[in-house]
Amino acid sequence: MITRINHIAIVVADLDEALKTYQDGLGLTLRKRMVMPEQEVEIAFLPAGESVIELIQPITPDSGVAKYLAKRGEGLHHICLEVDDVQVTMEELAARDMQLLSETPIRAAEGHGVFVHPKSSHGVLLEFLQPYGEEA
């Protein structure tokens, strides 16, 4: 069911500054950047093999990501595991008593995803995602 790590999300305070570091300092390449108004964030996508490192900057003070940044500072936010079928995955996770953060898949930058509460996964915010274009 899990085919790969789709992305690793890192919360940053200033996307321009972080991109300088991740490109010029660490040697990654920017594929694209986009504003996601619904999530109140701007995201930059830097591929690493079959996965992507996503730098996420909140663009309002009230989003979940903004509050995370204010409380914990910059750093790792979540891991996203890619699956073939997010609906089936949700049913399997719920049947195994994993606590999900939504009752239906939510629309993300890369596909439809569902988050597992960190309480269910030893402190890690985990997303399961079915990419767009691969829906049954």
Write the CB contacts of 40 (distance below 8 Å, at least 6 apart in sequence).
58, 59, 60, 62, 63, 65, 66
Under rule CB under 8 A, residue 120 binds a second copy: yes
Q: Which own/partner pairs from 57-62 qualify as long-range (CB within 8 Å, at least 24 positions apart)?
A: 57/11, 57/12, 57/13, 57/14, 57/15, 57/18, 58/11, 59/35
Give dist(CA 32, CA 43) in Å, integer.
8
Q: Which own/partner pairs from 27-32 qualify as long-range (CB within 8 Å, at least 24 positions apart)?
A: 28/53
Contacting range for a second copy; rule: CB under 8 A; set: 33-41, 60-68, 105-113, 119-127: 119-127
Residues in contact with a second copy, counted by CB under 8 A, come to a total of: 46
Fill in the amino acid letter for 55.
Answer: L
Under rule CB under 8 A, residue 41 binds a second copy: no
Among 16, 38, 70, 73, binds a second copy (CB under 8 A): 73
Among 68, 116, 129, 130, binds a second copy (CB under 8 A): 116
Nearer to a second copy, 5 or 101 (CB): 5
Among 30, 75, 107, 135, binds a second copy (CB under 8 A): 75
Partners of residue 127 on adjacent β-strands: 80, 115
Minimum Å gap between C-beta 60 and a second copy is 20
Residues that bind a second copy (CB under 8 A): 1-5, 8, 10-13, 17-18, 21-22, 24-28, 48-51, 53, 55, 73-76, 79, 81-82, 89, 92-93, 96-98, 116, 118, 120-124, 126
